[in-house]
Structure 1
């Protein structure tokens, strides 16, 4: 029975593909890429833009309703174990641990970048208000 992780609505459990056949590196990479190409409608996210709180430039790859597909080779799995950095999530770069591969990294990076911009904007506005108040106090003292 499949239960989606808390806070995520996955329509199906994420498949983990382990390629076991011994073959050259180039052949293995070609096989992994071909499986990625054939399964792309399942795992490919969509670029989402939005302007929360009026902040332009916010966007991320949205994987809502998709199924993350991870793949590895048996040799790597035997060497590092299932929780080691052996998984390639289709649509992502590099090898990751299973936990990281099943996260939605683009959303998290975009959220972190948006939060950083939001804080910088809020800090600048706060500094501007403080400077305006200080200027107003200076004017009142000179007028008195």
Structure 2
């Protein structure tokens, strides 16, 4: 795996997501402002509901746009054992049951999933409990977090 190519995949995915969100926001705006949706009485709320949807879609567009800018401006550095895991690092974790997962510690867009070949990579941020615990760690370090009241342990098996 190459973290530069992972960054490029994340940016490409955010560009697509932004386009989809912009089209959805435009459609919601057109619905909200269409003459057929003008309220005929106080119980006619179709126009109001459409305006709420348009506002939500506009917020989503702005969130994706901000994420895209953060990733476009992200400068990747080689992993430094002295500093440990930092934003921009690509890493592998092994759970206590032996399952492996690949993570990219990014500045935003938590939960975004991309594939590099047939490998699934999940974006996490330092705002998440796992991301917070990973900061400063290195290969071989253990990380423990509580998920739904259950304590889970992971080992950092590879960092780049």
> Which structure has the highest strand share of the two?
2
Give the TM-score of the pair, scaled to structure 1. Answer: 0.27
Give the TM-score of the pair, scaled to structure 2. Answer: 0.25
> Which structure has the highest helix share of the two?
1
